[in-house]
């Protein structure tokens, strides 16, 4: 919020495996912000290097699962001489409450930042009651 502070590096966290992956490569947990407005729950995730068509968003039962696949082809023919971070795919899951309108979930990817808008179901929206 205050734009004047010095930025610190956040070390990438490797995903603790719940199930085995069948694709090669490491998985990291993308850093995320979650906030709520009157109409929706908004999840913002940082997935640098992931292209738009390599993001998969699935809702299964109560779990929202987001996966971003990294294309390693860009790194072909390059010899690393100095490294500070590792690269890999991204995966993260969230448990949804029943108040989300699952059909209307909207996603946008911009500059490596994925923004998911999860609109609240009509019943869960706050209502203003006027006094007659």
For the CA atoms of the chain, what is the radius of gyration? 18
Instruction: Give the whole-angstrom CA distance, residue 44 versus residue 33.
Output: 5
Stretch near other proteins under the rule CB under 8 A, chosen from 6-14, 56-64, 97-105, 123-131: 6-14
Q: Are 117 and 39 in contact (CB under 8 A)?
A: no
The answer to whether 44 contacts other proteins (rule: CB under 8 A) is yes
**Which of these, 38, 54, 45, 51, lies nearest to 128 by C-alpha position?**
38
C-alpha 100/C-alpha 59 separation (Å) is 11
Residues 86-115 touching other proteins, rule: CB under 8 A, are: 87, 109, 111-113
Kindly state the smallest distance separating residue 129's Cβ from other proteins, in Å: 19
Mask: binding to other proteins, 49-78, rule CB under 8 A, as x and -?
xxx----------------------xx-xx
- Give me the residues that bind other proteins (CB under 8 A), please: 1-10, 31-38, 41-42, 44, 46-51, 74-75, 77-85, 87, 109, 111-113
């Amino acid at each position: 919020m205050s734009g004047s502070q010095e930025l610190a590096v956040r070390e990438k966290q490797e995903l603790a495996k719940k199930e085995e992956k069948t694709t090669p490569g490491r998985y990291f947990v993308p850093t995320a912000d979650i906030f709520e407005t009157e109409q929706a729950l908004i999840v913002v995730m940082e997935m640098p290097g992931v292209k738009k068509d390599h993001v998969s968003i699935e809702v299964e039962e109560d779990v929202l699962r987001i996966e971003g696949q990294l294309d390693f082809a860009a790194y072909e023919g390059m010899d690393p001489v100095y490294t500070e971070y590792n690269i890999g795919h991204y995966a993260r899951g969230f448990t949804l409450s029943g108040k989300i309108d699952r059909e209307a979930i909207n996603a946008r990817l911009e500059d490596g930042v994925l923004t998911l808008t999860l609109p609240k179901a009509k019943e869960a929206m706050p209502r203003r009651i006027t006094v007659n």
